[in-house]
Structure 1
């Protein structure tokens, strides 16, 4: 197949992003953004690791929440993967993974409060849906032939455990380790809603202008992510999993009456609680749609499309930094460090930092999403480019980039970009909590106004939007014959 369909699709998305950029609010409202940006970078190069005594505890709790949440998600996800052929299971998993971890945290906060269970479930529930989907795909790709060689009396479970699981065991372990890295980022940002992880202390440092203290926290988080291959050893995993719950902290006790009231009263639509009947319910639904859902949807879509295309541009511009066809070992090391920083920094944290420096607008969110996702795609494309063999007479410099490598990598690049589309949409919605008028802004506003019925409806609407984008992404990848799930 020629590149014409992929290029045509790329140009369509580029045109949509340019149109979105024309209507997006990308103003810088800070009085002196460059001075603030300079103070932030000064804090990064002069970190203060000893000013805050609770930093080690914050890191331990960040790791603990990640381990417990990911362990539960992997366990239940594997069990659901065995029944993933059932439509009800697939739909349920798709729905729970479409809701961002912070949205789950906001829900559980309303009745569990600042209890460790809030953070654990906020990670475990969406990760269960993600694990179920990916594990089932890995199991489906195994060869069924070895199972036919076993004695006829062998049960289905023994056949499954001895023939199918060993074939994909390495893939299952690799993907679970990758998900743990994602869980560390998810755990860190849970601090922004009050849980005692790294984000809580990072927000406190930024709000007080303590950039050296904030820089120390970020550097330690980068080191934690970068050294995962060193401390995440398979023999130590049981010890980590057993020890993790003891480092979650105590939190406040759960008031079970709040749990009952939340499910029996708080989330029931107001017209039904007040006996206004179906007419009142329809008026209420129309009000939510016009005043909250539609404006939030518009801003979410605009921001997503601009960030998606900018992520692709950054990825295409940065992957040569780690490709053996362009740079030597020293420069590649520098490129790897830069991409590790970009892909390790959660979008929410980066957007929060840029909002403090530039002021409230779509620009910090666009840049944060593009840098994070562009860094991830650049890392994967750069690794793939180093595996390609070039002719002895291949051109150098820009000719090698534009005529040799990009045409050979473009389809994989596009598959990765469309694979990140739904993820960017999820992150765009949640960035509304920071004050950007995406769907998360209206969810957070409803919660602040103690309108939990309104907030839950908007969260459901956000999940449905993510499902639509995921379906559209799969359709486009199928029509362009792109790889459905990038094997990276």
Structure 2
């Protein structure tokens, strides 16, 4: 993987454009140190609407994912779920925006559709890890639904609940970045503040979002879920967009298909495919793969060099708490937001994309690896004569954590590819750049082809990463 990343460096544009990053970085730093917001009502409303979209989307996608997980043994269902989760929430948002406009329905569907596929896959994997003995004791002729409800769900309830809480955190990040395409969530105000150079307001938004995610364990209580859902419905923006049946049918039957195909012009269709492949598909795919490979390897190095500063087995509290705080900031900040800030510093090249992907995913994986190290340390696995400091890091902790680290890294490989594609919305020439341009030019046939290519590419990498992490799956539970 490292060799492939080194070769990928030759094909990626890392040119730094003529901007003064240190001056801009100092202004952003002062904005983070001295956050301020002139209208508290607007800030609170943006936060509440971000939570509302995430909460309602998870409330709908969780049972849908559970139902799909019950039928996951069927190849057609597995392929459907893979296709749903392979398209990023922002791309789903752009699709639904053509049908329902900038409305709550667009935001909700943009999260519900891919999350249902993710829930189905992970819930099915959790069910596979449970004992089959209770199911064998079920009455003859009991349906799959009954067997799952009374034998698998009770066994796997803690794991299901834990993963659902994690996906809610992911939904908060997804809800926030949907603001970059116009929905009234946190990302909309954040993009506006950064573009206008209002870094104090941007700092206030960043800190508010960080505190929101960091405090989930205290405000997301089971007995409050129903009141929260009722409040979330009330908090959604007033405008609900609906497309009439004729427009919807025209979109799926005419707009997304090449004119040459609809006219039966096979020569023209071949020419259209040839132009699209040479000018958009191939450059976008190559750029996405190169950026992904570099980001994956850089993520691994970031994990190796940062997890020790969050592990009680390796450092004292005077280093561990600051280390955990830095990792918390990195894992809570969406890649899109990090890339947007880095683009202001380095200009539109591959460098901000790679750094944003590596920093976020490195922070996330390092946090998980440090937690595993802490759990082993608390369980009494450490011996009194174990070495300390750098020796312990190099010869005890890292060899023990390496299988889990690699499994997590392979697990995030497909996610990093998916995220690298959407960076094109910010102007970097990945697949997302061409998709966003196609929607802006109202060329839905081009957008549809590019989204299908993106989905197929993600499905391919997901299959490859699943095989590669198979060697490590018995030593760690990635869910």
The TM-score by the shorter chain falls in which range?
over 0.9
Query: Match for residue 158 of structure 2?
Result: 170
Query: Match for residue 282 of structure 1?
Result: 270
- Among 457, 461, 479, the alignment partner of 1:469 is 461
TM-score (norm 1): 0.93
Partners of 1:437 and 1:155 in 2: CA distance:
50
Whether the 8 Å CA contact 1:477–1:483 is kept in 2: the answer is: no
- Among 398, 405, 408, the alignment partner of 2:400 is 408
Once the two structures are TM-superposed, the CA of residue 50 in structure 1 deviates from its matched residue by 3.5
Partners of 1:119 and 1:48 in 2: CA distance:
28
Once the two structures are TM-superposed, the CA of residue 145 in structure 1 deviates from its matched residue by 1.5
- Among 391, 394, 408, the alignment partner of 1:399 is 391
Query: Match for residue 266 of structure 1?
Result: 255
The one-character-per-residue Cα deviations of 1:143-190 (angstroms, maximum 9, x if unpaired) are: 221244456687664443222211111111110010000000000000
Partners of 1:23 and 1:205 in 2: CA distance:
33
Once the two structures are TM-superposed, the CA of residue 394 in structure 1 deviates from its matched residue by 2.3
Q: How does 1:427-438 map to 2 (within 5 A)?
A: 427-438=419-430
Once the two structures are TM-superposed, the CA of residue 133 in structure 1 deviates from its matched residue by 0.7
Pair 467,415 (structure 1): closer, same or farther in 2 beyond 3 Å: same
Partners of 1:153 and 1:100 in 2: CA distance:
40
Q: Is 1:420 equivalent to 2:409 in the alignment?
A: no
The one-character-per-residue Cα deviations of 1:98-143 (angstroms, maximum 9, x if unpaired) are: 0000000011111211111100000000000000111111122222
The one-character-per-residue Cα deviations of 1:294-346 (angstroms, maximum 9, x if unpaired) are: 00011101100010000000001000111112222342221111111000000
Paired residue secondary structure (1:23): coil
Structure 1 residue runs without a partner (length 5+): 1-12
Pair 244,254 (structure 1): closer, same or farther in 2 beyond 3 Å: same
Query: Match for residue 331 of structure 1?
Result: 319
Partners of 1:368 and 1:37 in 2: CA distance:
15
Once the two structures are TM-superposed, the CA of residue 449 in structure 1 deviates from its matched residue by 1.4
Q: Is 1:241 equivalent to 2:233 in the alignment?
A: no
Pair 160,482 (structure 1): closer, same or farther in 2 beyond 3 Å: closer
Q: Is 1:97 equivalent to 2:85 in the alignment?
A: yes
Q: Is 1:486 equivalent to 2:477 in the alignment?
A: yes
Pair 411,156 (structure 1): closer, same or farther in 2 beyond 3 Å: closer
Q: How does 1:448-459 map to 2 (within 5 A)?
A: 448-459=440-451
The one-character-per-residue Cα deviations of 1:179-232 (angstroms, maximum 9, x if unpaired) are: 000000000000000000000011111111000000000000000000000000
Whether the 8 Å CA contact 2:439–2:447 is kept in 1: the answer is: yes
Partners of 1:258 and 1:324 in 2: CA distance:
59
Q: How does 1:119-268 map to 2 (within 5 A)?
A: 119-149=107-137, 157-251=145-239, 253-256=241-244, 257-268=246-257
Partners of 2:315 and 2:395 in 1: CA distance:
18
Moved more, 237-246 or 447-456: 237-246
Structure 2 residue runs without a partner (length 5+): none
Pair 73,481 (structure 1): closer, same or farther in 2 beyond 3 Å: same
Whether the 8 Å CA contact 1:202–1:214 is kept in 2: the answer is: yes
Whether the 8 Å CA contact 2:407–2:472 is kept in 1: the answer is: no
Pair 311,483 (structure 1): closer, same or farther in 2 beyond 3 Å: farther
Partners of 2:53 and 2:392 in 1: CA distance:
45
- Among 56, 67, 81, the alignment partner of 2:69 is 81
Paired residue secondary structure (1:54): helix
What RMSD in Å do the two structures reach over aligned CA positions?
1.7
Pair 485,200 (structure 1): closer, same or farther in 2 beyond 3 Å: farther
Pair 155,373 (structure 1): closer, same or farther in 2 beyond 3 Å: closer
Query: Match for residue 10 of structure 2?
Result: 22
Whether the 8 Å CA contact 1:222–1:344 is kept in 2: the answer is: yes
Aligned residues: 474
Pair 394,207 (structure 1): closer, same or farther in 2 beyond 3 Å: same
Partners of 1:255 and 1:181 in 2: CA distance:
31
Partners of 2:143 and 2:248 in 1: CA distance:
43
Once the two structures are TM-superposed, the CA of residue 290 in structure 1 deviates from its matched residue by 0.6
Pair 80,485 (structure 1): closer, same or farther in 2 beyond 3 Å: farther
- Among 431, 440, 460, the alignment partner of 1:439 is 431
Query: Match for residue 10 of structure 1?
Result: none
Whether the 8 Å CA contact 2:55–2:232 is kept in 1: the answer is: yes
Whether the 8 Å CA contact 1:81–1:136 is kept in 2: the answer is: yes
